[in-house]
Amino acid sequence: MVIPDALTRAIREARHICVLTGAGVSAESGVPTFRDAMVGLWEKHDPHQLATRQGFAEDPKLVWGWYQWRRQLVLEVEPNPGHVALAELETLANRLTLITQNVDGLHQRAGSHEVIEFHGNLFVDRCFEKGNIVASSVQPAAEGEPPTCPSCGGFVRPGVVWFGEAIPEAALAGAFAAARDCDVYLSIGTSSEIDPAAGLFDIARSSGATTVEINRDVTGQTAHFDFVLSGKSGEVLPQLVESAYKQDL
């Protein structure tokens, strides 16, 4: 892929790079994207029903089982070259803030440090009643049931953001600040359909950042980016880092 010189220069000279990633970045690790996560056992369920407080309240065992299935799947995969390239870019850039909608923790496993988990993390457990974090070592009352919170006895739920729930305050504030402050904004592997994550692009663009979309397909925002690199993030990102930092070496 030919990376435009203007883009490699913008990346190399950036004071602050802000990155938003979506499920497309984890797809090449074998983690189904959100909208095709419902395969096999889960085909008959609508994630928009399962990933909600009401869905969990109605059938804690079903929703807990779905997340256990997703956790097991993530534990069996590895970060891919796209994750690794972003971790390398963080070491090469003056500053890089990585905002991810993914809950799989693969960016951290690849070595990224400044990560804002916009939708929480699959491997964090919280009390369903009070929201406080619960040690994941807590055991379920019965096979397949969610564990119970040691302090209130209510069910334990996955520490991810469900539909209809607010993004954690600190994540929201950190992401908005990075989008406003950055001079290069990369949107990678996201359909840009879910707010407030999708709105970070407008904040970055109106703050004068150079904007770049990296996606296998066209999205509703594609037409508005300064640069669009069409392809798989696991192939494009290593080339982008190579062209921005290693061409002259």
Judged by the rule CB under 6 A, the positions of this chain that interact with ligand OAD are: 22-24, 27-28, 33-35, 51, 101, 119, 161, 163, 189-191, 193-194, 215-217, 219, 232-233
Set 48, 107, 119, 224: catalytic member: 119
The conformational region for residue 192 under phi > 0 = left, psi -120 to 50 = alpha, else beta, is left
Element (H, E) at 12: helix 5-13
Alpha carbon separation from 215 to 40, 208, 233, 236, 238 (Å, rounded): 26, 22, 7, 9, 14
> 97 or 192: whose CB is closer to ligand OAD?
192
Nearer to ligand OAD, 60 or 168 (CB): 168
Amino acid at 175: A
Amino acid at 110: A
Contact 109, 83 (CB under 8 A): yes
11: Cβ contacts below 8 Å, ≥ 6 apart: 17, 89, 93, 184, 240, 244
CB of 48 to ligand OAD, least distance (A): 8
- The answer to whether 224 is a known catalytic residue is no
Give 32 or 140: the residue with its C-beta nearer to ligand OAD. 32
Minimum CB separation of residue 229 from ligand OAD in Å reads: 9
Q: Give the residue at shortest CB distance from ligand OAD.
A: 24
Q: Cβ of residue 92: shortest distance to ligand OAD, in angstroms?
A: 21
- 34/128 with CB nearer ligand OAD: 34
Residues tagged active-site: 119
